[in-house]
């Protein structure tokens, strides 16, 4: 199914979760990531349970440090 990830169309499996999408994107082990689906931030503890739907707009934000 198609979802948008940071504005770019992306193919993922039917029934995919946020966690499985992050695996597909190579971000599963990354720290400092926040995910919003259709404008709603989802807690990391819910990523394995939050199923994506076709057309969902997923925003992956990576925290950076500066100084």
State residue 47's pLDDT score: 97
Given a contact cutoff of 8 angstroms between Cβ atoms, the answer to whether 17 and 51 are in contact is yes
Per-residue pLDDT of 10-57, as tens digits, reads 999 999 999 999 999 999 888 899 999 999 999 999 999 999 999 999
- CA 67 from chain centre, in angstroms, equals 28
Is the pTM of the predicted complex or chain greater than 0.85? Answer: yes
State residue 65's pLDDT score: 75
State residue 67's pLDDT score: 65
Q: In terms of DSSP H, where are the helices of 1-67? A: 18-24
Q: CATH assignment of 2-62, given 3.20.20.70, 3.10.20.30, 3.30.450.40, 3.30.70.2860?
A: 3.10.20.30
Give 21: exposed, middle or buried? Use CB within 10 Å, 0-12, 13-18, 19+. buried
Task: Provide φ and ψ at 34, rounded to 5°.
Answer: -125, 145
* Comparison of pLDDT for 8 and 64, the residue scoring more: 8
Given a contact cutoff of 8 angstroms between Cβ atoms, the answer to whether 3 and 10 are in contact is yes
pLDDT at 66 over 80: no
């Amino acid at each position: 199914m198609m979802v948008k990830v940071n504005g770019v169309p992306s193919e993922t499996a039917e029934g995919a979760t946020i966690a499985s999408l992050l695996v597909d994107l190579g971000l599963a082990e990354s720290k400092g990531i926040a995910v919003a689906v259709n404008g709603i931030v989802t807690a990391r503890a819910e990523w394995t349970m939050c199923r994506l739907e076709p057309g969902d707009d997923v925003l992956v934000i990576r925290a950076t440090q500066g100084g």
